[in-house]
Amino acid sequence: MENRVVITGLGVVSPVGNNVTDFWNSLCEGKCGIDLIKGFEEYELPVSVAGQVKDFNPEADGLERNDIRRNDMFCIFAMAAANQAMADSGLKSGENIAPERLGVYIGSGIGGMDTFVNETAKLLNEGVRRISPLFVPMMIGNIASGNVAIKHNAQGVCLPVVTACATGTTAVGEAYRAVKHGYADAIIAGGTEASINPLAIGGFANAKALSRAEDPKKASIPFNLNRNGFVMGEGAGVLIIESLESAQKRGAKIYAEVVGYGNSCDAHHVTAPNPDGIPASRAIKQSLDEAQFDAEKDLLYINAHGTSTPLNDKTETTAIKLAMGEEAARKAMISSTKSMTGHMLGATGAVELIAATLTVKNGIVTPTIGLDEPDPECDLDYTPNVARKADITLAISNSLGFGGHNSCVAVRKWVE
């Protein structure tokens, strides 16, 4: 027996808002969360802008001082977003869900890089005895899932996913499968990242991946002819993935139904996507097929990976056409929220799936801002600059990660 699977809670920390309401309103208004980098003025950074989280108060999201003091920011972001999502869902371990039936799938592409940088500096400048005894548990990539599980007494399946920039999407997709096939009644799923520091910026910049634009509004410009690289972002997105039976039994509100998941690998290059788009198209097609997408009946929204790099945007356009066929692809409404948030790395897929979920729930397609000169090779409907009202029935969120990881999750509008 297979379970139907729904989304019952959302939580987000992002460059455009540190709760779901602010995040969604910012996207609908086309608000740019990218700004000049703050906090590293002593370094001669090769890039000028980033999507940094602003005015973040973890105590407002239920974190205690010890939580903040003893964890890397990537974990703090995750715990805050998870607390929001659990409060939103109304789930409480031991009250309306058995602890062993509640799981956590929260991944990170990089993990505790700030901790790694800070403790390495101690080693080099003060010696090995000055390294914190918390260094390893603060740094390791699984610790966000671990700490969220501890906080919410989630004793079931716990699987931190690492698929680079596809991490958040893959985590939710795998959580969907686990609930669908009965391994859990609910899973706290998503992604988190906090890697805006000189080491990560230098690495990405020297790999020629980052935009060198100095104007924040002209830096992350997906599908624009003048795009020249992505902009680093940070934050976390967490969704409560729950069986329909469990949600209805406790009278939970439902945002959308999760109806499809696809995953593939380019097996091509460590950073560049396969330019023919074929492997990425398979992940998209798998998700649409499982969702029983009907091009004649469904109005489809696609939250594109849309990184603003020359190769990605062109390849993703090709992949969408291959997955759906040219005619259906041209009917779809597409946008890239990275035009507003920057690329949140391991968090980005989960944050963008939250955007896709709210799109089907609210009937508003958020825009791709900065799209004033479209690339002729990116010739689909990318919702330039202004949000639109549309009765979207099905949405997918695409993620393409370093190492060739492709992931896509589909959500359908929930009708009581």
Could you say which of 343, 378, 405, 408 is catalytic? 343
Is-contact 348 191, C-beta < 8 A? yes
- Give the closest residue to 306 by CA, choosing from 241, 224, 235: 224
Q: How many Cα atoms sit within 13 Å of 140 on the Cβ side?
A: 9
CB 215 within 8 A of CB 59: no
**How far apart (Å, rounded) are the C-alpha atoms in residues 155 and 100?**
5
Cα 344 off chain centre by: 7
Which H or E element spans position 11? Answer: strand 5-13
Q: How far apart are alpha carbons 156 and 182 in whole angstroms?
A: 12
Query: Which of the following is catalytic: 165, 265, 378, 408?
Result: 165
Q: Is 405 a catalytic residue?
A: no
Active site residue 343: yes
Residue 165 among the catalytic residues: yes
AA letter at 116: F
**Continuous segment of H or E residues that includes residue 289:** helix 278-290
The span from the CA of 134 to the CA of 289, in Å, is 46
Q: For residue 75, how many other CB atoms are within 10 A of its CB?
A: 32
Question: Taking CA 397 as the corner, what is the angle to CA 329 and CA 416, rounded to the nearest 5 degrees?
Answer: 95
d(CA 63, CA 79): 8
**Cα 291 versus chain centre, distance:** 20
> Helix, strand, coil proportions of the chain in percent (round to 5)?
40, 20, 40
The distance from CA 210 to its chain's CA centroid, rounded to whole angstroms, is 19
Question: What element of type H or E holds 389?
Answer: strand 388-389
Cβ atoms 200, 237 nearer than 8 A: no
Bridge partners (DSSP) of residue 14 are 17
Q: Which of 305, 378, 405, 408 is catalytic?
A: 305
Facing residues of 400 across strands?
A: 406
Rounded alpha-carbon distances, angstroms, from residue 125 to 119, 129, 131, 146, 235: 10, 11, 11, 31, 30
Which residues participate in catalysis according to the annotation? 165, 305, 343
